[in-house]
Amino acid sequence: MREYTNPVWDGYFADPFVLRAGGRFWAFGTGGGEHAQELIGLVSDDLVTWEPHGPVLDPATVPDGRPHHWAPEVIEHEGQYVLYYSAGLYDTGHRIRAAVSDHPGGPYRDQGVDLTAGEPFAIDPHPFRDEDGTLYLFYCVDRLEGERVGTVVVVDRLVSPTQLAGEPRPVVTASSDWQLFLAGRSMYDAVHDWYTCEGAFCVRRGGRYWCLYSGGNWQKESYGVAAASAPHPLGPWTEEPGDLPTVVRTTPPTIGPGHASVVTDDDGQDWLVYHAWDVGGEARRICLDPLDWTASGPVCRGPSAEPRPAPAVRDLG
């Protein structure tokens, strides 16, 4: 029996997304760094043994003055691959961008378009194709209305791979104390207790759509993954408030698991792919654990740090 142990790659790899394409598994994530953060890529034949590939973005096409690139995700569209990411300067001015490649591993050519030009801040794009072929983009923006102001998850229809319909609908807003990012945070010329819901990923299971998202402060142990559900990608989305993340949360030595994606193995088992801090807080690294579907929603059998049976991977064709 093949086994694996988390993390499945030792380097810094935040916001992991995994695409199965071209006979292999392609992982995309956010790199470390202070003055610039590049998108980084890994490739695997079995989900547990990874090696670097890249560059992810064609450097000749990246936007000037916005060297911090975050949270890439990819979808196949009409024989090409479209990568969505945000670009900004440190934690300001981020907008959603799109880049295109003929190969799943890239390099991806930025298309020169800000998909969210009307938003002061937009991050964490997640493209989703419904069963009827309609494309949607889940992403995160700042909102100053409601009892808990902060970063929220919205969804909009993609009228083309590089254009949104311009009608974002609410998906997840903060409803619990565990989603607090920072009390007394200076934002938009005021001071707020700032809440954060981010890192959305949508799947359809059991006749409903499920949005997995991360909440809280990505630097803290309270950071974790929860889920909302809806009868349609545009909602209405509902969630039972809780005092803790419901899908996966800190279990030492794994700290602050979050920003997850879902991949399915050849036995039909879903796997949650997520990042988590090491105990020393040196890096966020890519991890995975089985994701089960219960009567109340998705629950991850993790985070794990001990050897476990590996995903079933037999036919990558």
Q: In order of start, what are the domains of the chain with their CATH numbers?
A: 3-309 (2.115.10.20)
Q: What pTM, to 2 d.p., does this model score?
A: 0.97
* Whole-number Å distance between alpha carbons of 314 and 304: 24
- Count of other CB atoms within 10 angstroms of residue 252: 9
Specify the pLDDT at position 315. Answer: 64
Specify the pLDDT at position 56. Answer: 97
Specify the pLDDT at position 116. Answer: 98
Specify the pLDDT at position 54. Answer: 83
| Residue 55: cis peptide before it, omega within 30 degrees of 0 | yes
Specify the pLDDT at position 150. Answer: 98
What is the tens place of the pLDDT at every residue in 183-235?
A: 999 999 999 999 999 999 999 999 999 999 999 999 999 999 999 999 999 99
Whether pLDDT at 8 is above 90: yes
Beta bridge partners of 11: none
Contact between 279 and 22 (Cβ < 8 Å)? no
What is the tens place of the pLDDT at every residue in 102-146?
A: 999 999 999 999 999 999 999 999 999 999 999 999 999 999 999
Contact between 82 and 17 (Cβ < 8 Å)? no
Distance of CA 154 to the CA centre of its chain: 13
Specify the pLDDT at position 242. Answer: 86
Structure-token match 């890439």, residue found: 72
Mean pLDDT in residue range 27-50? 96
* Whole-number Å distance between alpha carbons of 51 and 259: 21
Whether pLDDT at 178 is above 90: yes
Nearest to 43, CA basis, from 91, 7, 8, 81: 8
* Whole-number Å distance between alpha carbons of 150 and 297: 25
Residues ≥6 apart with Cβ < 8 Å to 128: 75, 135, 136, 137, 138, 202, 233
What is the tens place of the pLDDT at every residue in 80-96?
A: 999 999 999 999 999 99
Q: Indicate the pLDDT class of residue 317, thresholds 50, 70 and 90.
A: very low
Whether pLDDT at 316 is above 80: no
Distance of CA 16 to the CA centre of its chain: 6
* Residues designated catalytic: 15, 198
